[in-house]
Amino acid sequence: MQPEVSAIFAAVPDALLIDIAVPSFRLDERVLLAIAALETPSPFRSRVCVISDNPDVDIPESIFRLRDADTIDLIIHPRNLGIGAARNTALESGNGKWLLFLDDDIIPEKDLLFAYAAAIMQHPDAIGFAGVTDFPESFNAVTRALEINGTTGHFLAALHQPLQRWAPTANLLLNREKLQNRQFDTALRWSGEDMDFLVRNSLALQEKYHSVPGAIVHHPWWNNGQLQTGRLFRYGRGACQVARKNPLNRYTYLDFTNTPETLLLLLLVLPVAAMNDSALLVMLFMGAVLMAELLVNYIKAIIVGKTFSPQVALSLWWTKFSWECGYLLESLAVFPPRQFARRLDMGFRKENPSPFRLNRWKIIKLVLIVLLSSFAFWRFKML
């Protein structure tokens, strides 16, 4: 039986107020109107705050009307400060106990606040709640590859993980009372500022975020399903930046070099090999590494994606390769490059995880590299 609302919240001012923060660069009218129209279940109240991080954007008249009617708050940054700064503005702008972050490209289900209100009633002292950010059904090779690769996995984690160390801020409710003046790191310009902030908060409080499978928003495929080279490259750079930071760096481990890292090492060896007439052997090995990567992604497309489409396999390879190249570049941006061949356990299960982890895809890739390079060297000797 649920406890009485008054018994839970009597001593806490604004405990029934949910601040809805929408940091935005584009100020999409359709999205903002849908968020502003969300119904709030009694006895809760809600207040929408739109933070424009683009002073040059044309703000729709309907948004100005909502502001003038005191239906929403509108904060316009004097210049583009970045998503981390926009979220910090949201942290400082409300006075509700609960702060709901929503992305500016989602459409919420009409009962979104009802789902979160029920979760609050069940766990009134939780550090926060993670909802579901649902993507449409994949419709081309790129979107299918993003599904197979797991790019959308964190957005859907609330469907199968009761508790989470972190979740995307596309749809996330925080307990402002427990934040203890923590803020998003504005130095993380590539991505990962949400992971960094939420993990720091979770580890400091020794609590996790409760999943709310019924709190659903709908997110479109980025750029209508086009290749996401730049986005994934940024994600890779952001992941490397985050992995350097304390306390998240306690969850990193040394790993086998991935394809871009291996190719870089082989390129460095190539001049020395050329002086010993072995350059062709090094290039053959580079070819074997690339071919093994392509083949393992094709196998993954077949086993996980249930498709024999070469286009899906190529998109899957490119998705992974773009992320890894971003990570590699960022690992080399700081000397010494301590993040080279180091990975971050994004589940944050335990500190100092064991190195050189194997999974079936790594095993398949290693076997393919051995077989392909052996065949290439054998053919080379036959010439």
- In three-state secondary structure terms, 210 is strand
> Quick check: 299 pLDDT over 80?
yes
Q: How far is CA 280 from CA 229, 254, 275, 366, in A?
A: 31, 30, 11, 21
Instruction: Find the mean pLDDT for residues 14-23.
Output: 94
Instruction: Find the mean pLDDT for residues 314-342.
Output: 97
379 or 210: whose pLDDT is higher?
A: 210
pLDDT digits (tens, 9 = 90+) for 85-122: 999 999 998 899 999 999 999 999 999 999 999 999 99
pLDDT-based confidence at residue 383 (cuts at 50, 70, 90): low
Alpha carbon 285 to its chain's center = 34
CA distance 302 to 18: 45
- Mean pLDDT, the chain, rounded, equals 94
pLDDT digits (tens, 9 = 90+) for 179-194: 988 999 999 999 999 9
Beta bridge partners of 130: 172, 211
> Quick check: 2 pLDDT over 80?
no
Going along the chain from its start, the domains and CATH numbers come out as: 5-226 (3.90.550.10), 257-335+359-382 (no CATH)
Name the DSSP class of 339: T
Instruction: Find the mean pLDDT for residues 312-319.
Output: 98
Backbone phi, then psi, for 18, in 5-degree steps? -105, 110
Task: Give one DSSP letter per residue of 141-204, joined into a string.
Answer: HHHHHHHHHTTTTGGGGGGT-SEES---TTEEEEEGGGSTT----TT--SS-HHHHHHHHHHHH
> Quick check: 329 pLDDT over 90?
yes
pLDDT digits (tens, 9 = 90+) for 268-285: 999 999 998 899 999 999
Alpha carbon 329 to its chain's center = 19
pLDDT-based confidence at residue 380 (cuts at 50, 70, 90): confident
CA distance 300 to 144: 12
